[in-house]
Structure 1
Amino acid sequence: MDQATWERIVKYTELQGTSGQEARIRAALKEEITPLVDRVETNQMGGLFGVKEGKADDPRVMFAAHMDEVGFMVSNILPTGALQVVSLGGWNPVTVPAHRFTLFTKAGEFPVISSSVSPHLLRGKGGAGNLSIDDILFDAGFESKEQAEAFGVRPGDFVVPETKTMRLANQNRAVSKAYDNRFGVSAIASALHDLDGVATPNTLIMGANTQEEVGLRGALPAVQQFNPDIFFAVDSSAANDLDSTVGRQGLMDQGTLIRVFDPTVVTSPRLKEFILQTAEDNKIPYQYFVSKGGTDAGAVEKYRAGLPAVALGVASRYIHTHETVWSIPDFDAARELIVALSKNLDRSAVDSITEF
């Protein structure tokens, strides 16, 4: 991985933006890809895509990440000034307490901490017991509800994790927040740099949707807007390799993921075989992946008479927390596969995938 790519990933992972609050990511992505494409378009959901125009009869190929990361929204302000929240995206409640966040209000941004219970206060109470998001308050240091409101805090304000991106001792590994799915944003932006000045045999549509973490909401408006022939969701999935690699799927450093099944998509055999052949022809390491969760591919597969859709990506440890550990070689493999597919999906290839 070159320095420019590393700095790109740092930029996108450290930007803060949960579902419905993706403006900073959208602005950064627009600035970066505008010189690399023929035009940039947005939609009313906040999605943003760059288009590299092909010929009139070329297929339309779409690669879509999602901009949002998991976070929270203020639902109530208590008389003490503490904040109650609802989750935006899936959280394991035990990972939430005692972390730093940023509270975004109309009046500005403020540091805020997720509450935890001191072990001193648990003595004689049999431990912490079962924890839910409803049990966790957020503390910005306000003395009262009135003081919080004086600083502009209102229900509907966003609370987003705050942390730094860094390489680990093993220089092939890194840690950051929001790798789900600033990985996808970074990979698509990097692929567009690789394709700068390259004429692909298709109209290439690359960018990112919004609000994926709260129900895959931004994907369908995007495919209705651009009417692609094939759709690739570029996303990060949960690695399951820490205690053993025997019989597990989603292994770090084993290449990009090709998702063959999840609860929302059974990948088209012809599309799967084309992806596998492309990876093998270009000596790109890959691994099969069966997932228990869905991606934007599941939101668009039933578009029109049916849209061939599949998720590509990487496996990362501890997604949907403050600190995700991920593999630099896996990122490079995913980027290379996006570029190779973009160069090889011509009219003949797309027709062979889509015809029955």
Structure 2
Amino acid sequence: MAKLDETLTMLKELTDAKGIPGNEREPREVMKKYITPYADKMETDGLGSLIAVKKGEENGPKIMIAGHLDEVGFMITQIDEKGFLRFQTVGGWWSQVMLAQRVTIVTSKGEITGIIGSKPPHILPPEARKKPVDIKDMFIDIGASSRDEAREWGVAPGDMVVPHFDFTVMNNEKLLLAKAWDNRIGCAIAIDVLKNLQGENHPNVVYGVGTVQEEVGLRGAKTAANKVQPDISIAVDVGIAGDTPGVSEKEAQGKMGDGPQIILYDASMVSHKGLRDLVVSVAEELNIPHQFDALPGGGTDAGSTHVAGEGAPSLAITIATRYIHTHGGILHRDDYENAVKLITEVVKRLDRKTVDTITYE
């Protein structure tokens, strides 16, 4: 693997961390380690979202930059008498990307490796072979011979299960392959925006937030926004890369390497026109590459932040990523760095007058 620089080391630690919804302690600790040097104050909300406060102008508007800490994964629900584990998906999964994949079960006694299994095709009738295996018929094999042995190893109902996947810099070193880009890349962007603001005058107070439980209903963004009460909110997340075989531009416009995606519309929110116009104008002024997308399905933390409290103008800025909600995804490092640059420059322009103008756009 290519030698890891400071940024790649951070990205590896963030994506290697294990944290399904409701179990975000490990990625929260990694984010906390990297963002604390750039924050004036660290807080959490009641669900465990991490809130790093960077003060510019004390009484300036409050700007929330939110990435979510959780990743899609699974939870153990039962151990059968032969030691096989039944599980529940936590977050959205498609059955065809799950079977025969390696997973890590996080138990009270440490981590255990398993594989998602099902009946072999050799014993299935011809009609059944043509159909995808239902998730409810899958199980996890950890090599235990009985329920008692699995329990002795520390396995218990409620244990977190995450994909097993190694962070990899690909032959094209701009392309990064890892699990949990959704949404540790958003957490990394929040960290680097605060880092970029060191020594800079910004006419506001910036909140770099790692939210919890996004994948099960944008829940942590709601509680974090209720605590912060932002004047402006930007959710940073992954978007769909439509640059692989079989995907038409009508289905997904995004292309890796073409810049951060400015989301016009998704199932959780119509993006705020005034904020969107400002972001686009800054990108054009500074020649920062960017692209647009609209997603009829799915949503981001902006779906919660824009209706929290009395409401806040909100926008989602995303990184085009291949194969999200699977074991491993690919994104382009330039898109990540351009997103950091764009958001940093937008923050510098968000003084009280500008925010008031945006709010009543």
Q: TM-score range by the shorter chain?
A: over 0.9
**Over residues 164-188 of structure 1, what are the superposed CA-to-partner deviations in whole Å (9 max), with x where a residue is unaligned?**
1112222221211101001101111
- Cα distance in structure 1, aligned partners of 2:40 and 2:343: 19
RMSD, aligned α-carbons: 1.7
Q: CA deviation at 1:128?
A: 5.0
Which of 189, 194, 197 is the aligned partner of 2:196? 194
- Find out whether 1:298 has 2:300 as its counterpart: no
Task: Output aligned runs, 1:118-133, within 5 Å.
Answer: 118-122=120-124, 126-127=128-129, 129-133=131-135
User: Does the 8 Å contact 2:225/2:309 carry over to 1?
Assistant: no
**Over residues 291-350 of structure 1, what are the superposed CA-to-partner deviations in whole Å (9 max), with x where a residue is unaligned?**
121111111222233211111111101001111011111111111112111211111211
2:219 corresponds in structure 1 to 217
Q: CA deviation at 1:54?
A: 3.1
User: Does the 8 Å contact 1:245/1:251 carry over to 2?
Assistant: no
Task: Output aligned runs, 1:178-327, within 5 Å.
Answer: 178-243=180-245, 246-247=249-250, 248-291=252-295, 292-327=297-332
Secondary structure in structure 1 of the residue aligned to 2:287: coil
- Structure 1 residues 33, 71: CA separation in 2 closer, same or farther (over 3 Å shift)? same
Secondary structure in structure 2 of the residue aligned to 1:154: coil
- Cα distance in structure 2, aligned partners of 1:47 and 1:182: 13
Q: CA deviation at 1:56?
A: 3.8
User: Does the 8 Å contact 1:71/1:88 carry over to 2?
Assistant: yes
- Sequence identity, in percent? 37
2:349 corresponds in structure 1 to 344
User: Does the 8 Å contact 2:104/2:114 carry over to 1?
Assistant: yes
Q: CA deviation at 1:117?
A: 4.2
User: Does the 8 Å contact 1:100/1:112 carry over to 2?
Assistant: yes
Unaligned 5+ segments in structure 1 are: none
> Structure 1 residues 189-198 or 329-338, which shifts more?
189-198
Q: CA deviation at 1:131?
A: 2.0
- Cα distance in structure 1, aligned partners of 2:293 and 2:53: 29
Secondary structure in structure 2 of the residue aligned to 1:224: helix
- Cα distance in structure 1, aligned partners of 2:272 and 2:120: 52
- Cα distance in structure 1, aligned partners of 2:82 and 2:67: 40
Q: Which one-letter code corresponds to 2:25 in the other structure?
A: A
- Cα distance in structure 1, aligned partners of 2:334 and 2:33: 26
- Structure 1 residues 26, 287: CA separation in 2 closer, same or farther (over 3 Å shift)? same
Q: CA deviation at 1:57?
A: 2.9
- Structure 1 residues 123, 133: CA separation in 2 closer, same or farther (over 3 Å shift)? closer
User: Does the 8 Å contact 1:77/1:155 carry over to 2?
Assistant: yes
> Structure 1 residues 6-15 or 48-57, which shifts more?
48-57
1:147 corresponds in structure 2 to 149
User: Does the 8 Å contact 2:242/2:249 carry over to 1?
Assistant: no
Unaligned 5+ segments in structure 2 are: none
- Cα distance in structure 2, aligned partners of 1:125 and 1:224: 52
Q: CA deviation at 1:245?
A: 6.2
- Cα distance in structure 2, aligned partners of 1:29 and 1:323: 20
Structure 1-normalised TM-score? 0.95
Q: CA deviation at 1:76?
A: 0.8
Q: CA deviation at 1:124?
A: 5.1
- Cα distance in structure 2, aligned partners of 1:246 and 1:69: 27
2:137 corresponds in structure 1 to 135
Q: Which one-letter code corresponds to 1:263 in the other structure?
A: A
**Over residues 169-212 of structure 1, what are the superposed CA-to-partner deviations in whole Å (9 max), with x where a residue is unaligned?**
22221211101001101111122222222231100111210010
Which of 173, 176, 192 is the aligned partner of 1:174? 176
> Structure 1 residues 267-276 or 145-154, which shifts more?
145-154
> Structure 1 residues 13-22 or 121-130, which shifts more?
121-130
Task: Output aligned runs, 1:11-26, within 5 Å.
Answer: 11-26=13-28
Q: Which one-letter code corresponds to 1:159 in the other structure?
A: V
- Cα distance in structure 2, aligned partners of 1:345 and 1:262: 24
1:159 corresponds in structure 2 to 161
- Find out whether 1:112 has 2:109 as its counterpart: no
Which of 62, 66, 83 is the aligned partner of 1:81? 83
User: Does the 8 Å contact 2:65/2:190 carry over to 1?
Assistant: yes
Q: Which one-letter code corresponds to 1:333 in the other structure?
A: N
Q: Which one-letter code corresponds to 1:89 in the other structure?
A: G
- Cα distance in structure 2, aligned partners of 1:348 and 1:295: 27
**Over residues 125-153 of structure 1, what are the superposed CA-to-partner deviations in whole Å (9 max), with x where a residue is unaligned?**
65152322111100111111111122222
- Structure 1 residues 126, 86: CA separation in 2 closer, same or farther (over 3 Å shift)? closer
- Cα distance in structure 1, aligned partners of 2:339 and 2:174: 15
Q: Which one-letter code corresponds to 1:326 in the other structure?
A: L
